Structure 1
Amino acid sequence: MSTKYNNKIDEIRGLIATLLESIVSASQISLNSFIPISQDGYKLALEKLNNIELQGDTIDNEIIKTFALFGPEAIELRSLVAYLKMTNEIVRIGEGTRKYARRMRDHSQSECNLEPLSSTISQLHKSTIKALEYILECFKDLEQCNIEDYYRKIMVEESKNDDIFSILEKEIMTLIIEEKELSPEYVKVLGTLRKLERSCDRSVNIANLMMYAKKGGELSLYR
C-alpha cells in the first residue's frame, strides 16, 4: 500500500493508543484514590474520561475515511475491521471506568465499611489495569509486539481477575448477612466492582481482535 495509507494507519493506531492511555491513567488514579480516600482523585479520574465517546467517534470516522480513500486489500481490510471493533470495546471500557470512579466516590461517603474488602478490591483493580497496560504496550510498538505472548499475558490476568472477583462476591455476601440494614448498599458495591471485572473481559476481546488482525482466519477462532 501507499505511504499515505501507512501514515493513516499509524495515525489511527496513535489515536487508539491515546484513548487507551487516558483510560489506564484514569483507572490508576481511581485506584490511588481508594486508599486513602480522595474525592479530588475521583474527580480527576472522571475529568480524564469526559470525552471518550467523542474520541471513539473520531477514531471510527478516520477508519471509515481510510476505507473510502484507499480501498484497502484483504489483509489491510482485516486490520481496519479489527480496529473498528476494538474502538467500541475500548470506549465501553472507558465508560465502565468512569462509572466505577463515580460510584466508588459515592460508596466512600456511604455507611458501607469497605476496609475489610480493600486488599481484594485493590488486587482486582491492579489486575484490570495490567491487562489494559499490555494492550497499550502493544499499540505503542506494534511492529515489535509479540501478540501471541501478550495474548497469553492478558488471558492470565483475566483468569486471575475472575478468581479475585469470586472471592469478593463471597466477602460481600458475608457483609450482607452481617449487616442486613446495609445490604442494598453492599449490592451496589458489588455492581460497581463488576465494572472492573467486565473491563478485564473486554481486554480479552481486544486481544482476540489483535490476534485476528495479525493472523487472520475466523474471528470465532480467537473467542
Structure 2
Amino acid sequence: MMLKVYETRREQIQNELLEIGDMVIESLNAALKALKDEDFKALKDAELSLKKLTISSNNIDNSIVTALALYQPEARDLRELVSYFKITNELVRAGGNTKGFIKIFRTSFSDDLNTKTILEYAIPLLKSTLLSLQTSMSIIKESTTNHIEEKYQRVVVEESKTDDLYSMIEKNILKLIAKNLDLSKEYFDILTSLRKLEKISDRSVSIAHLLLFAERGGEIERK
C-alpha cells in the first residue's frame, strides 16, 4: 500500500515538473515564431511569469520534502527525488534566462540593425536551445536506461551546437560593430540576449545529467 501511495506522489511530482518545463518551452516557442515572422513586438506576448514559475517550483520542492519525510525512499527512488529537487532550480534559472533573452532582445532591436545577419544565427540558436530543453524534459518519463543515455547525449550535442552558433554570431556582430560604432550598444545588447539562450542549453544539460544520475547513480554534479 505504501509503495502505491509513493508511486502516486512520484507521478504527481513528475507531472508538475513537466508543467513548469512547459512554461519555459512555450515561451521559447512563442519567441521562435516571433523571430521567424520578424514580428519583434510579438516578443512581448512570449514573456513568461517568473513569479508564477518560482511559486510552482517551490510547491514541487515542498512535495519532494514531504515525500522524503513520509516514505524514506532508498537507492534509486532517493536519487530520483534529490534530482527532482535540483531540477526545479535549474528550471527557474532557465526561466530567468528565457525572460531575460526575450526582454533584452525586444527592447534592443531596431530597424537600424542588420536584421538578416542577426536572424541568420539567432533563429537556429533558439531552435537548438529549444530542442535541448525539450529533450532533457522528455527524459523524466523515460524508464529505459538506454533511452535515457541516448537522450542525454542528444542534449549534449545540442548544447555544443549552441556554443558554436553563439561563437559565430558573436564574430559576425563584432564585425558589424566595427563598421557602425554608433550602434555598438544595441549590438552588444543583442549579444547579451543571445548569450542567455546558450545558458538555457547549459541548464538543459544539467537537467539531463541529473536524470541520468537518478537512473544509474554516479556523480550528481557535472565535472
TM-score, normalised to structure 2, is 0.92
- Give CA deviations for 1:27-56 in whole Å, capped at 9, x if unaligned: 010111123333553222214655111111
CA offsets per residue over residues 10-42 of structure 1, 9 Å max, x none?
000000111111111110101111233335532
Aligned counterpart, 2:119: 118
Name whichever of 115-124 and 8-17 sits farther off.
Answer: 115-124
**SS of residue matched to 2:16:** helix
Cα distance in 2 for partners of 1:29, 1:48 equals: 14
Check the 8 A contact 2:90/2:203 in 1, yes or no.
yes
- Aligned pair in 2 of structure 1 residues 159, 14: CA closer, same or farther (>3 Å)? same
Aligned amino acid, residue 168 of structure 2: I
What are structure 2's unaligned runs of at least 5 residues? none
Q: CA deviation at 1:110?
A: 6.6
Runs of 4 or more above 4 Å deviation:
47-50
Cα distance in 2 for residues equivalent to 1:110 and 1:81: 47
TM-score normalised according to structure 1 size: 0.92
Aligned residues: CA RMSD: 1.8
Compared CA separation, residues 58 and 158, structure 1 to 2 (3 A): same
Distance 1:160 1:39, change over 3 A: closer
User: How many pairs does the alignment contain?
Assistant: 221
Given that 1:26 and 1:49 are in contact with CA atoms closer than 8 Å, whether structure 2 keeps it comes out as no
What percentage of residue pairs aligned between the two structures are identical? 33
Q: 1:51 to 1:161 in 2, by over 3 A?
A: same
1:106-159 Cα shifts (integer Å, max 9, x gaps): 1234743333221111010000001111123222x3225711000111111111
Post-superposition CA distance 1:150-183 (Å, at most 9, x none): 0111111111111111101101110110110111
- Provide the C-alpha distance between the structure 1 equivalents of 2:138 and 2:217, rounded to a whole number of angstroms: 21
